[in-house]
Chain A
Amino acid sequence: MPQDHTERRVVVTGPPRQTRRASGYYRPRTEIDEQTTLGHTYVRSLMRTQLRAALTVFAVLGLLVGPLPLLFAAMPDARRLEWAVLGFGLYVPLVLLARWYVRRAERNERDFVRLVEDR
C-alpha cells in the first residue's frame, strides 16, 4: 500500500469542518498545528486525561474481576454462585463500564476541542 494513498484517504474521510475554518486560527490551535513546544504540552495534557480515564476504568475492572478466582477457591462449595457469576453476571457490568468510559473519553475530547478552539 503506497503511503501517500493512506494520507490522502485520511483527508478525504475527515468530518466536515468548513464552518469553523472560516472563523480563523486561534492561538492554541496554531501551536498544535505547528508542533511547537507549547503545542506538545496541549497534546500531552489530552493524553494524560485520556490515560487517566482508561486507567481508572481498568482499575475498576481489576477490582471487580481480580478477587473472584480467590473467592471461588476459598468457597469450593459455592458452585452455583460460580455458575451464576461467571456464566451470567459479569457481562452487564462490563458493558456498563465500557459505556462509562466512552462517555468520559468523549467529554475529555470535547473539552479539549473547546479549549484549543477557544470557544
Chain B
Amino acid sequence: MNSSYAVPAVALVVVATVLVGAFGLRISRTTSDFYVASRTVGPRLNAAAISGEYLSAASFLGIAGLVLVQGPDMLWYPVGYTAGYLVLLLFVAAPLRRSGAYTLPDFAEARLASQAVRRLAGAFVVGVGWLYLLPQLQGAGLTLTVLTGAPDWLGGVIVAVVVTAIVAAGGMRSITFVQAFQYWLKLTALLVPALFLILAWQSDGAPRHAFDEPAAFREQRVVRVDDSIDLTLDRPLPVTVTGTVDGRTHTDTRLELPAGTHHIERGTRLTFAEGATVPHAERSGGGNLSTSQAESREERPLYATYGLILATFLGTMGLPHVVVRFYTSPHGVAARRTTVAVLGLIGAFYLLPPVYGALGRLYAPELTLTGDPDAAVLLLPDRMIGGVGGDLLGALVAGGAFAAFLSTASGLTMAVAGVLTQDVLPSRGVRHFRLGTVLAMAVPLAASVLVGGLPVADAVGLAFAVSASSFCPLLVLGIWWRRLTPPGAAAGMLVGGGSALLAVAATMAGYPGQGAALHALLAWPALWSVPLGFLTMVLVSLATPGRVPPGTAGVLARFHLPEELRTEVTT
C-alpha cells in the first residue's frame, strides 16, 4: 500500500488531536475541571464525546475483519455494543449521575460506605481498563505496520505518548473536545470511502454473493501464507501450490486437497481458481485483531452467540471509560438525553463496518489466509478504486483508525489514572494525577511490547465479560435494591468477575482443547458468570442483613429524586 498519503494523514490526526487538546487546556484550571469538566458539558457535545471515546480499534477495524472471516454472526458485536447503551440508559444513567460520584469506586463508596468495596472496585476498574488499552495499542501497531512496514511496537508507542501527554496536560475538559472531534473524524473516515466503495461496487455490476456462505474468490488469486496455518476444508479444493503442504514440498503443482485439515507452512504460495470457495484458516498464536481462540466458526454454537449478547448488553455499563463520562452531564435528565443521542450516533457509525466486511468478502477474501483480516478496512480503497483516489481514501481511513486508537485510549487512561491517583498513589492533587496518567499508560504499553499477540477480540470480549459479571450487578443492585450490603457487593464482584476472568484466561492459555463442550462454556463465560455474580451478591447480602449501611435510604433518595427536589436531602 502506498504510504505517501497515509503517513501525513496519521500525522495530521495526531497534530490535530494535540491542538484541540491544547485548546481545552486553556480552560482547565481546577481539580473538578480535570476530572469531570466541571459538569458543564451539554448533551450534544457530551454525546459526541462519549461516542468518540467508545468507538475503538475493535469497532473501526475489528468488526469488518471479523465479518470478513466469519460471516454475519459477528455482526452481533456492533449490535451488542449499541444495545449496551440502551441497557445502561434503562438502569443506570440518571441515578449514576445523581449519585454525584466521579468514578466507579466513588460510586461504590457513596452507596455502601465501605473502603474495602471501594478498593475492590478500583482494582477491577484498573484491570478492565488495562485489558481494554492493550488492544488499542496493538491495533495502532498493526495499522502503522500495514501502512508503512514500521515495526509492530511503533504505533503503540506513538499512541501511548500522545495520549499520556494530552490527558496529563488537560484532563477531562480537553478530552471532551478531543473525543467529540474524533467521533466526527471517525464517522467521516469510514463514511466517505464507503460511499466511493459502494459506487465502485455498483459499477462492477453489484455482485451479491458476499452475503452467501461461504465466501468465494471472484478471480484467480495468488495468496502468500505469511504464518503457518491449518486449513479446514468441508469439501475438496483444487489449488496450485508452491511450498509445503502437509509436510510435502511442491513446486507449482496442481493439487486436489481432500476434505479435512491441512497444514500449510509459512512462505507457501497458493493459487486459487476463480469461483473457488475461501477455506477457513486456523492460526496458532496469531497476533491480530480478528483471529481468536474463542472464535472458531465450526464450534460456534448458539450458546456462544447468547454469551456474546449477554456480555456486550450488560458489560457496557461497567466499562470504566464509559461510566466516567456520565459524571460530566449537568444533571440526571441531561444524562438520559445524552445516552439517547449516543445511541443514535454509534448506531449510525455501526452501519458502516458491515459494508466494509461485505465488500472485503467480495474483493479481498484472501485476507482470511494471509493473517491480517483487520487490514481489510485499510486495504479496500486501494484494492477497489486504486490510483491516487484510492490512496487518498486509504489515507483518510488510516487517519480515522488512528483517531479511534487515540480517543479510546485517552478515555481509558483517564479512568485508570483517576483510580490510581485517588486510591493507590499516596498524596492527592493535580500533580499526582499526572503521575497516575503515566503509570496508567506505562503498564499496558509494556505488556503490548513484551507479550505481543493477545488476540484483540479475546481481550475485548474478556473486558466485557468481566465488566458484565462484576460492575453490572454492583451498579444495578446498588441503584435499585436497598438491602445490598458491603460484604455482598464484594463477594458478588469477586465471584462473578473473578470467575469470568479465570474462564477467559484459561481459554486464552489454550485450556481445554478445541472441540470440548467445556470450551464454549469457558470462552463465553457471561451466560453463567453474570447470574452467578448477581446471585452471590443477593445471597450474601441477605445473609448479612446487619451490614446494610445506615444511610442507605438517604443515598437511594439522592439517586432517584429529580434534582429540583433534592437540595434539602443532601445538605
A residues at B contact (CB < 8 Å): 1-2, 5-7, 9-11, 13-15, 17, 20, 29, 32-33, 35, 39-40, 43, 46-47, 50-51, 54, 57-58, 61, 65, 69-70, 72-73, 76, 79-80, 82-83, 86-88, 90-92, 94-95, 97-99, 101-102, 105-106, 109, 112-113, 116-117
A112 to B31, CA, bound (A): 35
With A88-B351, A98-B340 in contact, do A11 and B75 touch (Cβ < 8 Å)?
A: no
A101 to B343, CA, bound (A): 13
B450 within 8 A of A: no
Q: Which of B540-558 contact A (CB under 8 A)?
A: 553-554, 556-557
CB distance A43 to B557 under 8 Å?
A: yes
With A98-B340, A112-B562 in contact, do A91 and B428 touch (Cβ < 8 Å)?
A: no
A47 to B553, CA, bound (A): 12
Q: Which of B97-152 contact A (CB under 8 A)?
A: 100-102, 106
14 further A-B pairs in the complex, CB-CB below 8 A; given A33-B568, A33-B569, A83-B358? A1-B106, A7-B571, A39-B557, A51-B480, A54-B91, A61-B86, A65-B309, A70-B302, A72-B73, A83-B211, A88-B354, A95-B347, A101-B90, A112-B562
Q: What is the interface residue range for chain B against chain A?
A: 35 or more
Mark contacts of B346-372 with chain A using CB atoms, 8 A cut-off: 1 yes-contact digit, 0 otherwise.
011011001000100000000000000
Write the chain B residue with the least CB distance to A50: B560
A82 CB to closest chain B CB, in angstroms? 5
CB distance A83 to B565 under 8 Å?
A: no
A26 CB to closest chain B CB, in angstroms? 11
B residues at A contact (CB < 8 Å): 31-32, 35, 39-40, 71-73, 75-76, 79, 82-83, 85-87, 89-91, 94, 100-102, 106, 211-213, 302, 305-306, 309, 330-331, 333, 336-337, 339-340, 343-344, 347-348, 350-351, 354, 358, 422, 428, 480, 553-554, 556-557, 560-571
CB distance B89 to A101 under 8 Å?
A: yes
With a cutoff of 8 Å between Cβ atoms, the chain A residues found around residue B556 in the complex are 43, 47
Q: Which of A32, A54, A76, A91 contacts B561 (CB 8 A)?
A: A32
With A7-B570, A88-B351 in contact, do A102 and B89 touch (Cβ < 8 Å)?
A: yes
CB distance A80 to B211 under 8 Å?
A: yes
Q: Which of A32, A33, A50, A91 contacts B348 (CB 8 A)?
A: A91
A77 CB to closest chain B CB, in angstroms? 9
With a cutoff of 8 Å between Cβ atoms, the chain B residues found around residue A35 in the complex are 553-554, 557, 569
7 contacting pairs across A/B (C-beta < 8 A)? A1-B428, A9-B100, A29-B565, A83-B75, A86-B354, A87-B72, A101-B90
Write the chain B residue with the least CB distance to A84: B211
With A69-B302, A83-B211 in contact, do A43 and B561 touch (Cβ < 8 Å)?
A: yes
CB distance A83 to B72 under 8 Å?
A: yes
Q: Which of A2, A73, A79, A95 contacts B212 (CB 8 A)?
A: A79
Q: Which of A1, A9, A86, A97 contacts B86 (CB 8 A)?
A: A97
CB distance B480 to A32 under 8 Å?
A: no
Q: Which of A32, A90, A94 contacts B565 (CB 8 A)?
A: A32
Interface centre among A35, A70, A91 (most CB of B within 10 A): A91
With a cutoff of 8 Å between Cβ atoms, the chain A residues found around residue B90 in the complex are 54, 57-58, 101
Write the chain A residue with the least CB distance to B35: A1
A32 to B333, CA, bound (A): 20
With A32-B557, A79-B213 in contact, do A105 and B570 touch (Cβ < 8 Å)?
A: no
B266 CB to closest chain A CB, in angstroms? 33
With a cutoff of 8 Å between Cβ atoms, the chain B residues found around residue A15 in the complex are 331, 563-564
With A54-B91, A94-B83 in contact, do A9 and B32 touch (Cβ < 8 Å)?
A: yes
A16 CB to closest chain B CB, in angstroms? 9
A87 to B67, CA, bound (A): 10
Write the chain A residue with the least CB distance to B571: A11
With a cutoff of 8 Å between Cβ atoms, the chain A residues found around residue B86 in the complex are 57, 61, 94, 97-98, 101
B370 CB to closest chain A CB, in angstroms? 24
With A58-B90, A98-B89 in contact, do A90 and B560 touch (Cβ < 8 Å)?
A: no
With a cutoff of 8 Å between Cβ atoms, the chain A residues found around residue B564 in the complex are 14-15, 17, 20, 113
With a cutoff of 8 Å between Cβ atoms, the chain B residues found around residue A14 in the complex are 331, 563-564, 566-567
With a cutoff of 8 Å between Cβ atoms, the chain B residues found around residue A11 in the complex are 567, 570-571
With a cutoff of 8 Å between Cβ atoms, the chain B residues found around residue A43 in the complex are 553, 556-557, 560-561
Q: Which of A6, A57, A95, A105 contacts B101 (CB 8 A)?
A: A6
A48 CB to closest chain B CB, in angstroms? 10
Write the chain B residue with the least CB distance to A30: B568
With A79-B211, A83-B72 in contact, do A58 and B87 touch (Cβ < 8 Å)?
A: yes
With a cutoff of 8 Å between Cβ atoms, the chain A residues found around residue B76 in the complex are 69, 86
With a cutoff of 8 Å between Cβ atoms, the chain B residues found around residue A54 in the complex are 90-91
